[in-house]
Structure 1
Amino acid sequence: MTYHNNAKAWMITSLFQEWIQEFDHQVVLKHQGQHVLLFLDNCSSHKLDGLTLRYTDVHFLPSNTTSKIQPIDAGVIMSFKRHYRHSHVRLLLRYVEAGNRAEDLRMDILQTIRFIIQAWAWGEINPEVVRNCWWHTKILPDDVNVNLRNVSEDIRQNENLVLDELADALRDLNLSYPMQAEEFLYLPEENIVYKVPEDNKIIEELVYLFKNTDKKNMDLEEIDNSDEIPVISTSTAIASLETVRMFLLQQENAEEYVKLVGKIEKFFRVKKTNSLRQTDINAYFH
């Protein structure tokens, strides 16, 4: 996952062009150079001027239709929000149960990225849900749609279970201003992802940037005021892993997970050995 930002958290043309070029590159790596068709809405920042995409064909959807025919708006975003918010509230609940105040929890960028990866790369969002969203839009040929229609009852139940657990966690927090799960998922301000600035605003921002070019500290370190994460030693990581192993050994049908812990421990010990060797080499030359 690649992280980019701008000061106002909007999608701008330069970020979009970097993203789509990387997308085209990933097509080569993951799909052996097969051509893909990418549907995009007509956001003003979605400009392809000056770009050469080798394996990505871009098709822009008609204006004012994205909420009806764009698959990502047909349920993909909502499924992602369910899982992301679920992880967020579980973290918040653990924080409160440890004796802290909910409003004191500070989410840093790294934690946010971890939740995103957990939802997408670790399979929390089932591919069947994504396929069903394509069928729901009716934009694919009928012979393709036939194979997408049947979403298993297990998948539906899992999505509903996540929503129920989210509602339970919100209730357990006992917040001063409680929210329903649906309210928590539908925050209107989250839909603002781009803006077309007026000419005078562009000039003001350029002047501001010009005046502050010598301020070297105007970067993410200044924006992200979260606590610095302490460096965890290999020995501490191995000891923590032993706690996980003991927990799994007390569970039923956890043999495969115990094996995975063994693989992780092997990786930790190799890292520790390599670190000791590097220390010995440095000591020799000094």
Structure 2
Amino acid sequence: MQYETGEDINKNKLNLKQAIDYISDAWGAIDDEVVINCWKKTGILPAVENEEIIGASEFQDEENLLENDDLDTLLDEFSREDDYSATLTSAMVDFFNNIDQTIATEEALMDQQIVNLVQNENNIVENDQDDSDEEPSEISTQEAYNALKTWLSFFEQQESSDFDMKDIKIFKKYSKIINRILSDSKKQS
């Protein structure tokens, strides 16, 4: 689809880091209540009252705070041992504090590079518009018949439930029509 419209298909590609960031952002945007409601809707968990859920959530928050306090205490103790430990601890703290920050995955563009990119995109669009003025070539009856036979073979080989065998009747109908047109044209020749 992007090729037909003249769009740059590489423009929308993501690298692994960007994909992970998008997923992380999306997951972070989901409210706890949404997750709770989804689990309720599945019906696989025992029925629990809202008060119990809130209590469990508060308990989990308290546990997380205690774990963070324990981690801070361990880091403080470790950093007091010697200079190397202090340096390592400082680096670890910086790493964990900055872990949610966006990491540049590409070089920042200069103003002139941005202008050049925009101009190149405009040139590509103009060239594509020139190409769209051409009339598509006419497809022969034989080409249509061969393509439809190929499609029917492909359709019949599919095991996916997306391919409903009831739908194949319409394709077979048109295959017969095109075959009849081919036969009639051969008789006239």
Q: TM-score, normalised by structure 1?
A: 0.21
Normalized per residue, the structure richer in helix is 2
**Considering only CA atoms, is the larger Rg found in Structure 1 or Structure 2?**
2
Q: TM-score, normalised by structure 2?
A: 0.28
